[in-house]
Structure 1
Amino acid sequence: MMATTHALAGLALAALVAPVAPEHAPTIAAAGLAGGVFPDLDLYAGHRRTLHFPVYYGVAAALAAALAVVSPSALTVGAAVFLAAAALHAAGDALGGGLELEPWRATSERAVYSHFHGRWIRPRRLVRYDGAPEDVAVAAVLGVPAALALGPPTHRVVAAALAVSAGYAAVRKYLPTVATRLVAVVPEGVRRRVPDRFSNAGEQV
């Protein structure tokens, strides 16, 4: 799924938690957005493995939530929401497509790596690929109610995320061609640092 979809999933989670601690609502919303995006910071360094922990994030989120109940503060509640949103992201990737550059071809059986199990979890492809029409729909279904629940401060954030989602979806299937052409003309030293999937469209990673 798109990073924007994951971000809005984190915001939807925040919308569920905010009524429990309304005094920390801004922190909760920011933590949900940040946690939803955080795992994808590994995009160019072991994507869906380096910062994706479908089991461990959940365990950490449960411990952080327990601490937030015992000692509620902006820090403890925010940490719990951040970790829960990151867990939701990592688990959600298993519902999407694989890691190949052209995931609509369904050639990869790697969705997200589980460090706990020591293996890759296979893609379920309920959302066929990042940027698919259903991906945009999921982003809207998550984002719009969250914005309505959290109020005006989040309206522009959600509107911007949905605009980016729609734009990305419109060009998604052209991006592998653009990426492989760009990689072909960059210096060799740079090319060696580019993940294989960007120079081998359609190849399983």
Structure 2
Amino acid sequence: MMATTHVFTGLAVVAPIAYVLPEFAVALAVGAILGGLVPDFDLVFAHRRTLHFPVAGLAVAVPAVTVAAVFPSAITLFLAAFAGTAWLHAASDSIGGGPEMDPWNHRSDRAVYDHVRGRWLRPRHWIRYDGAPEDAALAVALATPALFVFDGWLAAVVVVGVAVSLGYALLRRRLVAWTPDWLE
């Protein structure tokens, strides 16, 4: 899935909380945005292995959410949104294709690495590849709650994210041909 889809997933999860507790809306949104993006910082290392924790991440997310529920503050809600969204990002990567540049060819049986079991989880291809039409549709659907709850610069970030998602989806399959060989 696209990084923006992961971000919108986190924003959709925290939107109801931000609606009920608007004083924490920024902390929740920033935590969700960063949690949706940070796992993909491993693109320069072993992608979907170095910073993706589809099983172990739950051991961080559950306590963070529990602490935030018992002691709600800007920092605890930020950390809960970050940890929860980072875990959702890693866990949901297994429903898509592999991490290769052309996952529609199904050359890889690796979606995301499970550090607990020491093995790769297989791609399920429910979302065929990042930037697939169904990925773009999911991104738009998940962005919608955020547009109703967040305003100002946060709403602008969501609108820009939707535009980036749609543009990427339109160009995704062409990007492989445009990518230098050393990046593959």
Say which SS state the counterpart of residue 129 (structure 2) adopts.
Answer: coil
Q: Which has the higher mean CA deviation after the structures are superposed, 107-116 or 143-152?
A: 143-152
Matched to 1:25, the amino acid is A
Gaps (5+ residues) in structure 2? none
The CA deviation at 1:152 is 4.3
Which residue matches 1:28?
28
Which residue matches 2:73?
73
2:139 corresponds to 1:139: yes
Say which SS state the counterpart of residue 43 (structure 1) adopts.
Answer: helix
Calculate the aligned-residue CA RMSD, in Å: 1.4
- Correspondences of 1:32-111 after superposition (within 5 Å): 32-111=32-111
Q: Deviations over 1:27-76 (max 9, x none)?
A: 10111111011100101110000000011221211111222233221111
For 1:109 and 1:26, locate their aligned partners in 2 and report how far apart those are by CA, in whole Å: 38
Gaps (5+ residues) in structure 1? 184-190, 199-205
Say which SS state the counterpart of residue 127 (structure 1) adopts.
Answer: coil
Give the conservation status (yes or no) of the 8 Å contact 2:94–2:111: yes
Give the conservation status (yes or no) of the 8 Å contact 2:31–2:78: yes
Which residue matches 1:11?
11
Larger radius of gyration: 1
Which residue matches 1:163?
163
For 1:149 and 1:89, locate their aligned partners in 2 and report how far apart those are by CA, in whole Å: 22
Which residue matches 1:187?
none
Matched to 2:64, the amino acid is A
Which residue matches 1:2?
2
Which residue matches 1:202?
none
> TM-score with structure 2 length normalisation?
0.94
Matched to 1:52, the amino acid is H
Say which SS state the counterpart of residue 61 (structure 1) adopts.
Answer: helix
Provide the identity percentage: 48
Aligned length: 184
Give the conservation status (yes or no) of the 8 Å contact 2:19–2:149: no
Say which SS state the counterpart of residue 94 (structure 1) adopts.
Answer: helix
For 1:64 and 1:21, locate their aligned partners in 2 and report how far apart those are by CA, in whole Å: 18
For 1:6 and 1:32, locate their aligned partners in 2 and report how far apart those are by CA, in whole Å: 9
